[in-house]
């Protein structure tokens, strides 16, 4: 079956293409293709429901476009401190570092300066959050002992983030060429 498609501009800088399909029954799918948001929807979806879904989808995709800089990092760390450490931690500075090519982050518990690898600004937010929480935990516990691990494990996605980072770093370091996977 062929699908109908029409193009709608929902924002000045975001072009949206809506593709209706008779084969699609319930699910709605959205993806970015070359800077264009493509939304795949059932043909039977009413316009009123479409507008509601488009608003939510567009908001979700726009969140990914927020540039991450040191002020964003400070705001995020403050939020995570409040959520996972009851706002008890304090630090002098938290910033992105382009010099950390091998490390994900570092925390100097004496100067209370936290550095996060700039590479993480390009990763999903939940992965960067894990590294921020990891470094915040070092303000309480400088080593990686049981107490440290219990602090970091407060973050529900910690194991998943670790797996993501291991897989990403393995591919980047070409330990296993993609052809052999």
Three-state secondary structure call for residue 26: coil
Residue 105's pLDDT band (cuts 50, 70, 90): very high
Three-state secondary structure call for residue 37: strand
Q: Return all residues near 130 (Cβ < 8 A) that are at least 6 apart.
A: 152, 155, 157, 158, 161, 162, 165
The pLDDT value given to residue 112? 94
Q: Return all residues near 43 (Cβ < 8 A) that are at least 6 apart.
A: 3, 4, 20, 21, 22, 24
Name all contacts of 124-130 with Cβ < 8 Å and 24+ positions apart: 124/164, 125/76, 126/157, 126/160, 126/161, 127/161, 127/164, 127/165, 128/68, 128/76, 129/76, 129/80, 129/155, 129/157, 129/161, 130/155, 130/157, 130/158, 130/161, 130/162, 130/165
Q: Return all residues near 101 (Cβ < 8 A) that are at least 6 apart.
A: 117
The pLDDT value given to residue 1? 44
Residue 66's pLDDT band (cuts 50, 70, 90): low
The pLDDT value given to residue 49? 87
Q: Does the pLDDT value for residue 47 go beyond 60?
A: yes
Mean pLDDT of 143-165: 95
Mean pLDDT of 27-31: 86
Mean pLDDT of 128-134: 97
d(CA 96, CA 118) in angstroms, rounded, equals 5
Q: Return all residues near 97 (Cβ < 8 A) that are at least 6 apart.
A: 106, 115, 116, 117, 118
Q: Does the pLDDT value for residue 9 go beyond 60?
A: no
The percentage of residues in the chain with a pLDDT greater than 90, rounded to a whole number, is 48
Residue 164's pLDDT band (cuts 50, 70, 90): very high
Could you tell me if 100 and 84 are in contact, meaning their C-beta atoms sit under 8 angstroms apart? no
Q: What domains, with CATH codes, occur in the chain?
A: 4-63 (no CATH), 70-172 (3.30.2010.10)
Mean pLDDT of 81-88: 96
Q: Does the pLDDT value for residue 57 go beyond 70?
A: yes
Q: Does the pLDDT value for residue 28 go beyond 60?
A: yes
Q: For all residues of the chain together, what is the average pLDDT?
A: 85
């Amino acid at each position: 079956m062929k699908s109908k498609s029409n193009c709608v501009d929902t924002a000045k800088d975001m072009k949206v293409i809506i593709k209706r399909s008779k084969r699609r029954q319930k699910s709605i799918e959205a993806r970015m293709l070359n800077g264009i948001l493509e939304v795949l929807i059932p043909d039977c979806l009413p316009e009123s429901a479409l507008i509601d879904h488009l608003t939510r989808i567009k908001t979700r995709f726009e969140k990914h476009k927020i540039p991450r800089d040191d002020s964003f990092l400070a705001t995020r760390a403050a939020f995570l401190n409040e959520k996972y450490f009851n706002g008890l931690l304090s630090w002098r500075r938290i910033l992105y570092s382009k010099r950390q090519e091998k490390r994900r982050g570092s925390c100097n518990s004496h100067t209370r300066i936290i550095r996060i690898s700039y590479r993480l600004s390009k990763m999903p937010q939940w992965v960067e959050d894990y590294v921020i929480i990891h470094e915040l935990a070092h303000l309480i516990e400088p080593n990686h002992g049981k107490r440290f691990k219990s602090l970091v494990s407060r973050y529900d996605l910690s194991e998943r983030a670790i797996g993501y980072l291991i897989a990403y770093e393995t591919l980047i370091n070409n330990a296993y060429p993609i052809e052999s996977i």
